[in-house]
A and B are shown apart, each in its own frame.
Chain A
Amino acid sequence: MANYEIKDLLEWDERIREKVIEFGLDCYPQEFELCDHSGMLGYMAYSGMPSHYPHWSYGKSYEKLKTLYDHGVSGLPYEMVINSNPALAYLMRDNTLLLQVLTIAHVYGHNDFFKRNFTYGSTHAEYTIELFKAHALRVRRYIEDPSIGIDKVEHVMDAAHALSLQRRRNLAIRKLTQTEQVERALDSARPPDDPFKRIHAPKAYVEPNIRKVPYEPEDDVLLFIRDHNPFLQEWEKDVLTIVDEESKYFIPMIETKIMNEGWASYWHKRILESLELEQGLRIEFIVRHNQVVRPIPGQINPYHLGLRVWEDLHRRYTNPTPEEIKRDGAPNKSGEEKIFEAREVERDSSFLRRYLTEDLMREMDLFQYEPRGDDLVVSKVSDEEGWRGVKENLLRNIGMATIPVIKIEDADFGQNRTLYLRHFHDGRDLHLEYAEKTLAYLYRLWGRECVLETTVQGKRSLLCFNDRGFSAKALK
C-alpha cells in the first residue's frame, strides 16, 4: 500500500509549484486524479479522455493492455496527462511517495509544453473535454437511433478509423479552400507584366483547368469524402467529422512525442534535484529516474533521446567546449533562453534535425538496421560517413513521418467519379495486404471505384478497389 497521505501530496505539490514558477515554466491550471490500475488501464485505452465515444477497438486496446500488464510484459505508466485547460493528469495511487513527487513534477513539464509549444495551438485546449464529450454523445445517439443502430455506425466508423491519419499534418499552416486555390492558380497563370513585351513574343497563356476537383492534391481524405460524396447521410458525415477531429487533436502529440517526454523528464529531474530530497528519497529518485530514461537496446526510448538532446542543447549554450565554440561560434543566448525558445517553436522532426548533433549520436550509438533475410542487420552506424544517413532515417521513423503520405488527386477520374489517390513514395513501399484492406474501407465510404497509385518494388503500380473487389496492375 502507498506510503503517503493526500496531504503529503498537497505539500509536495506546493513545493513543486514554487519551483515550477521559479524555473519559469508556464502552465495551465492542473488537476490531478488518483486512480487504481484498472482505472489507469481504462484511461489508457481511451487516450486519457474522461469521456469518449464507444467503439470496439477501445475494448480491444483495453484487453491488450490488460493482457500485457497481467503477464508483466509491460508495466503501467506512472501518470497520464491530457492536453486540456485545465490540464488533467492521472496518478497511480499505488505508487510510492517518491514516484508521486517525481510524477507531479513530470506532469508540470508536460503541462508547460502543451500550453506553449506551437503545434498545440490547433487543439483548443479549453474545449478538449467538452469536445470529446460532445462526440461521445453524438455517437451514442446514432447508436441508439433505431433507424441507424450500432452495426451501421460501426460500419462507417471502422472505415473512418482506417483512414483517420490520412490528413493534413502541419496544422499551423492554414488550408486554402478550393476557391482560394483556384484564384491563386489563375493569378499565377496570368502572364507577368513584361516591360519588353514589344520586342519578344508574349508567353503563351496556359489556362489552368479550374474545374478539377480537388484543384490541388488533397490530404484530408475523410473530410474530402464528407464534402464530396453526395450519397452520404448526415449522420455518416458527422461520424467522419468526429473521427477526423479526434485525429486532428492527437497529431500534435504524435508530432512531439520525443520533445515532450524529453522536456517533462528534463524538468522533473531539475525540479527534484532542487528540492533537496532526504537521502532515502534521493536514492529512490535516482533509481526511478534512470528506469524511465534509460536507453533501450535496439530501440529508441523517446524519454532517453529527448532528455539527452535537451540536456545537450542546454549545455552547449551554457558551457560549450572549445571545439564547439570554434565550430558554431560563441552562444548568443543562455542555455535557459535557448531551451525555452526551442520548446516553443520546434516539433520532433525539426528539433532533432537541428539539435541532435553528430557527437551526441555517436555517444548514444544510434544505428540504422534493415531486414536482411530473416534477420535485422545493422546497416549504418553513427560514424563520420554514416551519421547523416542514420539521422535522416531516424527522422523518417518518428511522428507523422511513419504514416505514408497519400493524397487525393482527382475525384472524377475517367469522368466516372473514380477517386484517384497518389502515394508520395519516399523509398518505402506500402504494406500491400494493409493497403488492400484500407482501400476496401475507402471504397466503402466513397461508394465508387478507388484507385491508388503507388510504387511497388520500384515499379509504378495501380491498386484498385471497385464493385468487383481488389485488383492491382503495374503501370508502364
Chain B
Amino acid sequence: MPLVESIFREYRPSDAERSDRSAGDRLRHRQKVRELIRENISDIIAEESIIGKDKDRIIKVPLRGIKEYRFVYGENAPGVGQGDGNSKPGQVVGKAGREGQGQGQDRAGDRPGVDYYETDVTLEELIEIMFEDLELPDMERRALREVEAERSTKRKGYRKVGIRVRLDKRRTAKQRIMRKLASRHDERVEVGEKTNERFPFHDDDLKYRHVEAEMKKESNAVVMCVMDTSGSMDTMKKYLARSFFFLLYQFITTRYRNVEIVFIGHHTEANEVSEEEFFHKGESGGTFISSGYLKALEIIQERYHPSLWNIYAFHCSDGDNFDSDNPAALRAAKDLADVCNLFGYGEIKPLGSRYYESSMLNVFRRLDAPNFQTVLIERKEDIWPSFKAFLAKEKPQ
C-alpha cells in the first residue's frame, strides 16, 4: 500500500511581511494606469464630480481598464446557466453585455465585457498628473517678502560667545581638558590623575551653541475670480466657469505656499462674495464688466499689494456687455493686466450661442498686454485646452 507523505509549513508573520511579491508588478500597473489617466485627463477633469472637492479627498475615476486583448468570441454567443427548476423559454435571466453571466469561474472563459473599473486617485495625485501634462517649467516666484509669523530656529555650530543658557557644558569641559593636557606636555601625567593643582576654566574654554533663526520666506498668491452673475449666466455657464476657477486655484496652490482666493460677482455693479454665493446665487439685470475689474483693482489696492503678492485674475462672462461700457472695461482691463501676473478673460458660450450673442472677444483683441489671454469655452472639453492656453501667457519676470 503506497503511503502518502505530507508536510505542513507554519505561518510566519515575518515571511509574510517580507514577501509582498506583487509590489513591483503593481507599481508597473499603476504607472500604466497613470498614463491612461493622463491620456484621458480632459475627459476626467470635465467630469462634474471632481470639481470643488477637498484636496485629500479620494476620488474614483472611472477608467476603461488596461485591457488584455485576445481573440475571444463576441457577445452574440449563447451561454448555459442553471435555473431554479422552472426555467421556461422566453424567460429573461439577465442583461446582455454584462460580464460574468453564465461562465462559471473558468480562467479561460474571459469574454470581453465592460472592463470599466474604478481607480482610486486622490485629488492631489490627479492634479499632479494634470500639471505633469501641462509640462510647464516651474514658474518663477515674484518677490518673496512677507515673513511668516512662525519663525523656526535651527542649531548651527558652536561659538565662543553667547548667552549663558546656551552654554554647552560638555564641550566646555572637553576644551578645558584639552588645554590642560596641552599645557603640561613635559610632565607625563595620565589623564584623570588627581593633582592638587587647580586648573580653572578660562574664557577661551567656553563653548556656546549657536542658534540661527530661520526666516521662512513666504510666497503669496491671490486668485481673483471675477464672474458675471447677470441674468444671462445660467447654470451650465456657471458650471463651466467654476471648473475653470477650480483648475486655476489648484494650479496656483501647487506653486505658492500661501494662496488666497477672492470671489467677485458682478452685474452692473460688483461685490466681493463668498464662494457659495458666487456659484449658486443668481442675479438678474444687465452687465457692466468694468465694474468687476474696478472692484478687483480696489481689493488689490487694499489688501494685495502687487509687490508682495502674485496676482492671478480671471474673469468669466458670457460676453453680453453693454456696449457703452466697453471702453471703460478695456481701460480697467489694461490696469488690471499691469498689476497681475496673469490675467485672463474666458468667454463662455455653450453650444454655438456665440453666433448670435455679442462678444467681448473682439473688444479685448485691442488690449495689448503680454500677460493677458482670452479663451472661448463652448463645452466641457474646452476647459483643459483653454486652461493650457491661458497659462502659456504667464508674464516673464
The chain A residues found within 8 Å of chain B, CB to CB, are 6, 9-10, 13, 17, 20-21, 25-27, 29-36, 38-39, 41-42, 45-46, 54-60, 62-64, 67, 86, 93, 108, 150, 154, 158, 161-163, 165-166, 250, 253-254, 257-258, 295-302, 304-305, 364-381, 386, 390, 393-394, 397-400, 402-404, 406, 423, 428-435, 437-438, 441
Contact = CB atoms under 8 A, between A and B. Distances in A.
Given A250-B107, A431-B112, 18 more contacts: A13-B8, A27-B4, A29-B7, A32-B6, A54-B25, A57-B25, A59-B25, A59-B28, A162-B70, A166-B71, A300-B82, A300-B102, A365-B86, A371-B97, A379-B89, A428-B74, A435-B71, A437-B67
A57 B68 contact: yes
Given A59-B25, A60-B65, A377 B71 contact: no
Nearest to B91: A378
Interface string B105-137: 111110110000100000000000000000000
Interface string B271-288: 000000000000000000
Given A45-B22, A433-B112, A397 B103 contact: yes
B157 interface: no
A56 B32 contact: yes
Contacts of B112: 431, 433-434
Contacts of B351: none
Interface in B53-69: 65-69
Contact of A46 (B22, B81, B94): B22
Contacts of B169: none
9 contacts: A6-B8, A54-B25, A150-B28, A254-B106, A371-B76, A379-B78, A381-B89, A428-B74, A434-B69
Contacts of B100: 299
Interface string B89-101: 1111111110011
Highest count of chain A CB atoms <10 Å: which of B1, B4, B80, B102? B80
Nearest to A432: B74
Contacts of B103: 299-300, 397, 402
B108 A254 contact: yes
Interface stretch (B13-21, B191-199, B382-390): B13-21
Given A369-B94, A378-B89, A364 B82 contact: yes
B165 interface: no
Interface string B299-312: 00000000000000
Given A165-B70, A298-B81, A42 B88 contact: no
Interface string B326-339: 00000000000000
A351 B214 CA distance: 80
Interface in B1-53: 1-11, 16, 19-22, 24-32
Nearest to B8: A32
How big is the B interface, by class?
35 or more
B73 interface: yes
A371 B6 contact: no
A435 B112 CA distance: 11
Contacts of B73: 402, 404, 428-431
Contacts of B352: none
B75 interface: yes
Contacts of A428: 73-74, 76-77
A402 B108 contact: yes
Which A-B residue pairs are the 7 nearest by beta carbons? A59-B25, A59-B29, A59-B26, A437-B69, A371-B96, A34-B11, A56-B28
B96 A376 contact: yes
Contacts of A64: 117
Given A31-B7, A298-B102, A63 B71 contact: no
B104 interface: yes
Contacts of B86: 365
A34 B7 CA distance: 11
B34 to A, nearest CB: 12
Nearest to A400: B108
B324 interface: no
B87 interface: yes
The interface centre, meaning the residue of A54, A297, A397 with most chain B CB atoms within 10 A of its CB, is A397
B85 interface: yes
A3 to B, nearest CB: 15
A368 B79 contact: yes
